Structure 1
Amino acid sequence: MLKPLALSLALVLAGCASDTPDSSLPEGVAYLGSNLSQQVEVTIPYEKFELDNGLTLILHKDSSDPLVHVDVTYHVGSAREELGKSGFAHFFEHMMFQGSENVADEQHFQLVTESGGTLNGTTNSDRTNYFETVPANQLEKMLWLEADRMGFLLPAVTEEAFEVQRATVKNERGQRVDNQPYGRLNELVSQALYPKGHPYSWPVIGWMEELDNGNVDDLRAFFKRWYGPNNATLTIGGDFDRDQVLQWVVKYFGGLPRGPEVAPLAKAPASLAADRYLTLEDKVHLPLIYLSFPTVYARHQDEAALDLLAEILGGGKTSIFYKNLVKSGLAVQAGVGHPCRELACEFTMYALANPGKMPQLAEIVKVIRDSVDEFERRGVLADDLKKAQVGHEATTIFGLQSVRGKVSSLAHNQTFFGEPDLLQPDLERYRNVTAEDVMRVFNTYIKDKHAVIMSVVPQGQVALAAAPANYTAPGPVPKDQLSHADKVAQAKIEDDFDRSQVPGSGPAPQLKVPGLWQQRLANGIEVIGTLSDETPTTEIMIALDGGQRLTSAAEAGLAQLTATMMAESTESYSTEEIALELEKLGSTISVSASGYRTYVNVSALTANLDATLALLQERLFKPAFSDADFQRVKVQQLQGLQHQANDPGWLANTAWSELLYGDNSAGRPVGGTLESVQALTLEQVKAFYKEQFRAGNASIVTVSNLGQDELLPKLQWLGQWQGEGSRWAPLMAMPELAGPKIYLLDKPGAAQSVIKIGRRGVPFDALGDYFKSGLMNYPLGGAFNSRINLNLREDKGYTYGARSSFRGGPELGSFVAGASVRADATAASVKEFISEIQHFAAEGMTEQELAFMRASVTQSDALSFETPGQKARFLGKLQRYNLPKDFVEQQGTLIRNISLEELNRLAAEQLDLSRMAILVVGDKSSVEPSLRELGYDIVTLTL
């Protein structure tokens, strides 16, 4: 069924590349081949080279957008660390942004950001990658930056930088692991699944005790061992001149010396002689059970069949797990997966128990085992295999919609398998899986096999665990048993150019704003669309004005509950039947609610669009709204709210909305409160559906490889939709925000505190004070290297990240500055926030900051319209706010001409601290005394 789609995709992608490679190459570069003339269904065109120092270079030319994506992947992750020295690979993800011999501290962020680009780095167990997406004219500068930190990082690895980033890593762990419900699950399961000393037995972020035990010489030695060019792959995709890029790569990378040779690690799947039970008491509401079975390793011959087995057992609403656990009401969520890594894979099963129906995890485990037995008796159905295979192919195609997606695929496959483009072999190995293969791997790896069985239970409720714990994880290696590395010096590198000179930029690329078409259907619904022919896919977004704004505060959660019910049964299909039909097409239809809108989003392979739209018509116009669906969905939403009440970020957002907007619908979470959702009835859902799902509320955005003449006839049935637009009730009076005043919400035992400081502001506009205020805020808290982030993250080490922003909708807006900070730095962080805001309001931005903002915001437009999703959001904004088609150009003119005086006037007006509230969500007993020392009134909140 997908063959024609894949063929059309190959034509689109291959059309961006030349047919044969040029034989003339710069000295020091060897040509290793390409797939430019390969005739297969799906391919990412590339050329592959190797420099004399061992650096692998992959080029993927794509001139469809005026941008480039640069990725440097080092074949080093936490698996390469020494026992007792965990976290070093992730630590280097941070250190590699802190400057190098010719790049000053924070200059990397500054140069990329002012170029209009984005950047980041990620670390996993097997590799670390660094990447930038920038306008095409900035490519040389990116190569200079990446080469400098590959060859000249050690001078920047100072004791001071080491300590700052060690604090940042601790804050990251506090925010993402220790302060998150279930945050420690994966690292504890890995300790039990893999024996001590196995490369996967410690977490990527590391044990903090071991990070404390390391020193700067250990870190420098780790860099010297693993970050040489011969252990790296440089992948460049986008709009560039091939010959020029080769010259730049040789210039900046060619002189860097090889590092030590790197031998591949042996594959090391885990094995268990018996079930291992673990129990974690956590600040959670929903008990969780998690089973992990050892299997194979990435690209093992059984990997594909295991992936499809996982999808059949627990993927979506057509799976056995969903039927027996979620639809039965025993669990709020359940699923099965098969995550694979270079050395080992795991087959995982989980369920979040519904404590109102079956909190005992031993009983949930029994249902899981019964479900596995049911699968064995039933076997693999034809539809099982079809939906899983089509789903894999659709995911592959949708993943190729951005240059970053294609570059990431090339870099990954080259790093681990030595072959950049594996799309076609991957499609074939999943297509070739048979029902017999699925049953064989089930019998080999799952049936009657041992697993790590992890119970996560609310604090003080160990009796809910599946079984008593029978495994104790080993502790970190003691400090006195560690040996430290000798000092490592920076190697001397001779160049025939001055590396301290920042390369210039080429001519600014021509901005490619999507061309669009507009037309109204017979009932007046406006359709706005654009052509996007890089992949054979179609995105349709139906936006319905209203959302939670159509409800009272007492009905909070009704819009979302109705949206969730729209994903259940219809007049002609059960929930499972319509889900199966969509899965067999590789399509999705999702319905979601927000504060001011309900959205219906459709993603489809274009060849399957007609069948997908038939299912959309069923879902949109014929929801069943059965009582059985309602009772189950309502319980899930209530349990979800109780689960979210343990998340400090959700608590902060909820309290913040109420502080700003009071008893208006905007003052309540879209998901509602326990009180409001408990009171909702099926009759209210039906009434809200009639109020919200009207033609008069609707507008449509399309992004497709079909043109207007082909696509619009497929949407004519929407022209028969009836109903006038809904009227919004007047807003109620807003709360007074005379300040500054601290509002404190207690989160006992919180490892970090969440801080929000701000006020109500102006609603959205594209060219007025709202837009200008965003420009004003950019150097204060809008960029990574803003004043607020550099202060709290880089200088003080209080947080993993701090920001400020202006947010605006159709009738309300706000300014908010915030961060999640170390609990012991709560008061100090509030003080620094206030100091930065007050100083900026009084003094404004500098001329240098104005120039930085202008360069960054203006050039970033080149990255704004690449993917179908980006195009849809652009068209949706244009349509929602009735903006002129050239509003992007008008914004560019405004940015170039706005004066420092006008921006600083806005700073004084918008950043008046006397009109702001300060919210702190944290452990009241530990943070309140130091907060009182700040001298502000403190009001204790409850939710």
Structure 2
Amino acid sequence: MSKKSIMVMCMAAALSAQAQAQTQKKAAPTKKPATVVTAPQKQGQTRLVEKVTRKSGELVIPYEKYVLPNGLTVIVHEDHSDPIVHVDVTYHVGSAREEVGKSGFAHFFEHMMFQGSDNVADEEHFKIVSQAGGTLNGTTNRDRTNYFETVPSNQLETALWLEADRMGFLLDAVTQKKFEVQRETVKNERGQNYDNRPYGLVYEKNSAALYPYGHPYSWTTIGYIEDLNRVNVNDLKNFFLRWYGPNNATLTVGGDVTPAQVVKLAEKYFGPIQRGPEVKNMKLPAPVLTQDRYISYEDNIRFPMLQMTFPTVPNYHPDEVPLDVLAEIIGGSKTSILYQNLTKAQKAVQASAGHPASELAGEFTLTVLPLPGQSLADMEKELRNALVEFEKRGVTDDDLERFKASYESGIINSLSSVAGKTSTLAAYQTFTGNPNFLTNQLKAHRAVTKADVMRVYNQYLKGKKAVVLSVVPKGKPEMVAKPDNFKVDPSGYKAPADQYAGLTYVKAKDTFDRSKVPAAGKNPVITVPPFWKQNLANGIKVIGAKNDEVPTVTLLFTLQGGHKLEAHDPSKAGIASLMASLMNEDSEKFTAEEISTKLEKLGSSISFGSGSETMTVQVQSQVKNLDATLALLEERMMHPRFSQDDFDRLKKQRLEAIKNQSTQPTVIANNVYNKTLYGEGHIQAIPVIGTSTTVESITLDDVKKFYANYFSPSVTNLVVVGDVEQNQIMPKLAFLNKWAAKPVTMPAEPKLASIDKTRIFIVDKEKAAQSEIRIGYMAMPYDATGDFYKAGLMNYVLGGAFNSRINLNLREDKGYTYGAGSYFSGTESSGPYTAYAGVRSNVSDSAVVEFMKEIKRFREEGITDEELAFMRSAIGQSDARKYETSFQKAAFLNNMLRYNLDADYVAKQNQILQTITKEEINALAKKYLPIEKMSIMLVGDKVSIKPGLEKLGYEVVELDPDGAPVLAKADVPVTPAEPKKAEPVKKGRKARAEGRVF
């Protein structure tokens, strides 16, 4: 796992505990956290290993750690700030435990763990968690696999029962049919995230060249298609028996629980499961490169890419942190060498450095995407020159101060999530055996010196060899930095000893009936967070809420308009987004680099953005640094420099980004779909970033005029969430009173395009492995308690949940896709209904048939009693998770201001949820699922998909990537063949739960 991955988990980890946990033992006269180590474990007893408490001012996650007799480690973090609980089971097995020829097993098995077990029927795991108001998922990386649920605290026992059942009672439920369906799902995932994504194979190609043949990091977690085709169900079962024992797992529970409660339930449900084979930690030498290894491949891209990778050290090695500092200095921010020399100098779209580290090895990477006119050979020289420049420049006190402040601030800013705290404890236990390793990490970051950074530069980069990967557009192999000089050589590889011989499946024997779903406790009481309101004289509407779980403050400014304002002059579309980008650059007093440096030292952030109907300003600060952060905010908001140099550079980058969209099927699909919905001439039919024609016409004076006319307090809402009271924060915001109000007139809403009949639109993406599908029409604007809200309830079981009819059909039954669904989205003015998926190219027509079948069946037959009860329970109980973090509170408050909602609108929604009838749901389906008047759009390989689509009985229209009709070569009408029939609906199919899985 990369250092940044661990850090992100840490960031979601400790300070909420700081505010919530009570010290349970008198602190010893030391700066270390209090730790209690018990006596050795007696035979057959659960052992308390340690108890860590927090003293005032420490960044520590309090917990108790136990070990069951079967080897299962149990960690409990008690935090009663919200009525929720997070359950995480981490197995110390990832793709690094696989063998040559059997790649992808760990990830494949993650999929199989969601397919039912002895006492949990197929698809029931998802349904039970979702119906309880929870969310769930699973993830796999090189070194570990984890499964987790966040549920209301009254559902703790149910979550533990579910996880224990698949740990101890899985294999008899693994069938050949389930195996085949999930194999197709994994292939779809690979197609979507690797094969059909620009630069998607960089990691795979680089890993194969960097590590020796047979090294467990020489392949990626997703695996190779040929290995997925080769694997059989018995191979997969053996993988489970070898690695999924309780002695290779950590159960971590955090939230509204007590340790005694968790341990008792863990003993009941996990205790009877037998130990698995012993698992030892791996340790491998770092790769040794005797020469620079040049490799390349062709991809469907606009910008070529060059990446240099040097082998370094694993996670938690003493040199990891100084290498992280080195990466930051060379290519981590606006002050970095690569940004200044390449990005700002307009030689590259982006240039960066990073140091991802995993359990067995680390990689120092330099990456650049040059702008046209710059060759990859030139870029290689630039990257090597950047290293030389660093050596001359050295490390400054500023470098270390910014790095350390940003690191600690990052941790503090993300400590409000019980899921984050729990996963952090789990990760540290899995990889270090010490859940409290956050303390060690903080020490390492605080202690790093300039000499450390120079030492690791000399040791790992200076004069060292690297893998140099060129990614070039298809058909242009001459663009590589240098000809390939390396091929993977399997000679000399010696396969490891067989680890799977003689494995047997022995089920646990229970003293209770494990087939019974545990009864839930009393539903927790959920209350909407209290808030305050205040309006400023210049028109700013302020709403705020106190949140003292972390010592931070979040400010969110939302200005009405954004892209929508460009309807006043569509020839300048993209100007709002371009203006926001410029406001992230120089101010009148400071350069962008100076502001970046100041913010990093404060551990703060300020960012400007613009979307389809709003412009935003987001601010994050520790309470102690709020005054200094607000001073920089005033400078950036009120006094942008709008320099010609910045404008020229950002405009050039924007134009290249627009051209680059032609390589991204998902972006093409979204843009063209919007055009079919809104119609020619509507501003929302134009991408938010504009088109080449509109952006080319924008001048710096246009931007200044747009700022003067539309960046106004009269259309501004401000949300404040943090560890401050209203009477503390409002005086600090007094500078906003100097912001002069100006009237802002919103453009008149144009008439939306109408759809007279359902048509299929095809956008050609030659040789695409997948087709992106969008189906829908323009439905209705947002309404918190009207038909918009009710239609969302209606759609939940059709396409809104993971267990929806659409996803269950296309993903779980057919194996067409990695994920499919549908939703209503809306703003004040409009809102589409959209069904979506990315499917294998060879099933494009069949996928359309199944989409339309499910929508039609739901419209005609309506919702079942079981589905209605499931929807009510799932949406109603999810309230426990709605207001946990500062971000969630800010989003809730922002919604109230933006749509002028009543203070009790949540209560009204809950009343609607509990009283809406089956008849009302069915009437909504008939009204808002007009299958005879929808646009069906596919972005895919026309040659492959068009013949099948033409047989479905719809008019087929070809569009170019900009959404314009493609003229036919011959005006010959096509007579539709007999429509393809939908596959029959399977009876007795059970519902499945919400959440994007795997």
Place the TM-score, normalised by the shorter chain, in its bin: over 0.9
- The one of 875, 886, 899 equivalent to 1:868 is 886
Which secondary structure does the structure 1 equivalent of 2:720 belong to? Answer: strand
Give 2:262's aligned residue.
245
- The one of 64, 76, 99 equivalent to 1:59 is 76
Give 1:114's aligned residue.
131
Which secondary structure does the structure 1 equivalent of 2:453 belong to? Answer: helix
Question: 1:172, CA displacement in angstroms?
Answer: 0.2
Alignment of structure 1 residues 909-924 onto 2, 5 Å: 909-924=927-942
Note if contact 2:167-2:246 (Cα within 8 Å) is conserved in structure 1.
Answer: yes
Which secondary structure does the structure 2 equivalent of 1:808 belong to? Answer: coil
Which secondary structure does the structure 1 equivalent of 2:590 belong to? Answer: coil
**Residue 168 (1) aligns with residue 185 (2):** yes
Deviations 1:359-383 (A, max 9, x none): x101011111111111111111111
Question: 1:827, CA displacement in angstroms?
Answer: 0.1
Q: Provide the rounded CA distance (Å) in 2 between the counterparts of 1:209 and 1:699.
A: 54
Give 2:479's aligned residue.
464
Give 1:791's aligned residue.
809
**Residue 439 (1) aligns with residue 454 (2):** yes
Alignment of structure 1 residues 519-668 onto 2, 5 Å: 519-552=534-567, 553-662=570-679, 663-668=681-686
Q: Provide the rounded CA distance (Å) in 2 between the counterparts of 1:506 and 1:475.
A: 57
- The one of 523, 533, 552 equivalent to 1:508 is 523
Q: Provide the rounded CA distance (Å) in 1 between the counterparts of 2:116 and 2:928.
A: 34
Q: Provide the rounded CA distance (Å) in 2 between the counterparts of 1:228 and 1:276.
A: 40
Alignment of structure 1 residues 270-419 onto 2, 5 Å: 270-355=287-372, 357-358=373-374, 360-419=375-434
Alignment of structure 1 residues 215-230 onto 2, 5 Å: 215-230=232-247
TM-score, normalization by structure 1: 0.97
Q: Provide the rounded CA distance (Å) in 2 between the counterparts of 1:904 and 1:575.
A: 55
Q: Provide the rounded CA distance (Å) in 1 between the counterparts of 2:804 and 2:20.
A: 41
Give 1:84's aligned residue.
101
Note if contact 1:84-1:477 (Cα within 8 Å) is conserved in structure 2.
Answer: no
Note if contact 2:539-2:715 (Cα within 8 Å) is conserved in structure 1.
Answer: no
Q: Provide the rounded CA distance (Å) in 2 between the counterparts of 1:862 and 1:495.
A: 33
Q: Kindly tell me: are residues 874 and 286 of structure 1, through their superposed partners in 2, closer, same or farther at Cα, counting changes over 3 Å?
A: same
Q: Provide the rounded CA distance (Å) in 1 between the counterparts of 2:65 and 2:261.
A: 15
Question: 1:191, CA displacement in angstroms?
Answer: 0.4
Q: Kindly tell me: are residues 481 and 174 of structure 1, through their superposed partners in 2, closer, same or farther at Cα, counting changes over 3 Å?
A: farther
- The one of 837, 845, 851 equivalent to 1:833 is 851
Note if contact 1:274-1:450 (Cα within 8 Å) is conserved in structure 2.
Answer: yes
Give 1:805's aligned residue.
823
What letter corresponds to residue 160 of structure 1 in structure 2?
K
Question: 1:490, CA displacement in angstroms?
Answer: 3.6
Question: 1:730, CA displacement in angstroms?
Answer: 1.4
Q: Provide the rounded CA distance (Å) in 2 between the counterparts of 1:218 and 1:517.
A: 59
Note if contact 1:14-1:45 (Cα within 8 Å) is conserved in structure 2.
Answer: no
Which secondary structure does the structure 1 equivalent of 2:660 belong to? Answer: helix
Note if contact 1:275-1:453 (Cα within 8 Å) is conserved in structure 2.
Answer: yes
Q: Provide the rounded CA distance (Å) in 2 between the counterparts of 1:11 and 1:813.
A: 37
Question: 1:712, CA displacement in angstroms?
Answer: 1.5
Note if contact 1:540-1:701 (Cα within 8 Å) is conserved in structure 2.
Answer: yes
- The one of 14, 21, 24 equivalent to 1:19 is 24
What letter corresponds to residue 684 of structure 2 in structure 1?
A
Q: Provide the rounded CA distance (Å) in 2 between the counterparts of 1:300 and 1:661.
A: 55
Q: Kindly tell me: are residues 845 and 484 of structure 1, through their superposed partners in 2, closer, same or farther at Cα, counting changes over 3 Å?
A: farther
Q: Provide the rounded CA distance (Å) in 1 between the counterparts of 2:490 and 2:866.
A: 50
Q: Provide the rounded CA distance (Å) in 2 between the counterparts of 1:510 and 1:245.
A: 21
What letter corresponds to residue 798 of structure 1 in structure 2?
Y
Q: Provide the rounded CA distance (Å) in 1 between the counterparts of 2:266 and 2:433.
A: 20
Note if contact 1:610-1:714 (Cα within 8 Å) is conserved in structure 2.
Answer: yes
**Residue 693 (1) aligns with residue 711 (2):** yes
Which secondary structure does the structure 2 equivalent of 1:343 belong to? Answer: coil
What letter corresponds to residue 145 of structure 1 in structure 2?
L
Question: 1:521, CA displacement in angstroms?
Answer: 2.1
Give 2:913's aligned residue.
895
Q: Kindly tell me: are residues 931 and 598 of structure 1, through their superposed partners in 2, closer, same or farther at Cα, counting changes over 3 Å?
A: same
Q: Provide the rounded CA distance (Å) in 2 between the counterparts of 1:487 and 1:793.
A: 35
Alignment of structure 1 residues 734-749 onto 2, 5 Å: 734-749=752-767
**Residue 761 (1) aligns with residue 766 (2):** no
Q: Kindly tell me: are residues 11 and 505 of structure 1, through their superposed partners in 2, closer, same or farther at Cα, counting changes over 3 Å?
A: closer
Note if contact 2:658-2:691 (Cα within 8 Å) is conserved in structure 1.
Answer: yes
Deviations 1:725-771 (A, max 9, x none): 41112122322212210011111110000111110011111100000
Q: Provide the rounded CA distance (Å) in 1 between the counterparts of 2:503 and 2:448.
A: 51
Which secondary structure does the structure 2 equivalent of 1:645 belong to? Answer: helix
Q: Which moved more, 1:883-892 or 1:755-764?
A: 883-892
Question: 1:708, CA displacement in angstroms?
Answer: 1.2
Q: Kindly tell me: are residues 424 and 555 of structure 1, through their superposed partners in 2, closer, same or farther at Cα, counting changes over 3 Å?
A: same
Note if contact 1:70-1:237 (Cα within 8 Å) is conserved in structure 2.
Answer: yes
- 5+ residue gaps in structure 1? 1-5
Deviations 1:890-918 (A, max 9, x none): 11111000111011100001001122110
Q: Which moved more, 1:365-374 or 1:798-807?
A: 365-374
Give 1:3's aligned residue.
none
Q: Which moved more, 1:86-95 or 1:683-692?
A: 683-692
Q: Provide the rounded CA distance (Å) in 2 between the counterparts of 1:239 and 1:641.
A: 48
What letter corresponds to residue 613 of structure 2 in structure 1?
Y
Note if contact 1:79-1:126 (Cα within 8 Å) is conserved in structure 2.
Answer: yes
Question: 1:38, CA displacement in angstroms?
Answer: 5.4
Question: 1:554, CA displacement in angstroms?
Answer: 2.9
- The one of 143, 152, 155 equivalent to 1:126 is 143
Question: 1:475, CA displacement in angstroms?
Answer: 8.4
Q: Kindly tell me: are residues 936 and 477 of structure 1, through their superposed partners in 2, closer, same or farther at Cα, counting changes over 3 Å?
A: farther
Alignment: residue pair count: 934
Q: Kindly tell me: are residues 80 and 38 of structure 1, through their superposed partners in 2, closer, same or farther at Cα, counting changes over 3 Å?
A: farther
User: RMSD over aligned Cα, in angstroms?
Assistant: 2.1
Q: Provide the rounded CA distance (Å) in 1 between the counterparts of 2:352 and 2:808.
A: 40
Q: Provide the rounded CA distance (Å) in 1 between the counterparts of 2:636 and 2:54.
A: 44
Which secondary structure does the structure 2 equivalent of 1:181 belong to? Answer: coil
What letter corresponds to residue 24 of structure 2 in structure 1?
D
**Residue 937 (1) aligns with residue 955 (2):** yes
Give 2:91's aligned residue.
74
Question: 1:292, CA displacement in angstroms?
Answer: 0.5
TM-score, normalization by structure 2: 0.91
What letter corresponds to residue 813 of structure 1 in structure 2?
G
Question: 1:644, CA displacement in angstroms?
Answer: 2.3
**Residue 426 (1) aligns with residue 437 (2):** no
Q: Provide the rounded CA distance (Å) in 2 between the counterparts of 1:28 and 1:740.
A: 66
What letter corresponds to residue 866 of structure 1 in structure 2?
E
Q: Provide the rounded CA distance (Å) in 2 between the counterparts of 1:634 and 1:571.
A: 20
**Residue 714 (1) aligns with residue 771 (2):** no
Question: 1:399, CA displacement in angstroms?
Answer: 2.7
Note if contact 1:548-1:593 (Cα within 8 Å) is conserved in structure 2.
Answer: yes
Note if contact 2:709-2:742 (Cα within 8 Å) is conserved in structure 1.
Answer: no
What letter corresponds to residue 281 of structure 1 in structure 2?
E
Question: 1:477, CA displacement in angstroms?
Answer: 14
Q: Provide the rounded CA distance (Å) in 2 between the counterparts of 1:440 and 1:723.
A: 55
- 5+ residue gaps in structure 2? 1-10, 26-35, 963-998
Which secondary structure does the structure 2 equivalent of 1:271 belong to? Answer: coil
Question: 1:55, CA displacement in angstroms?
Answer: 0.3
Q: Provide the rounded CA distance (Å) in 2 between the counterparts of 1:59 and 1:134.
A: 16
Q: Provide the rounded CA distance (Å) in 2 between the counterparts of 1:474 and 1:103.
A: 46
Which secondary structure does the structure 1 equivalent of 2:684 belong to? Answer: helix
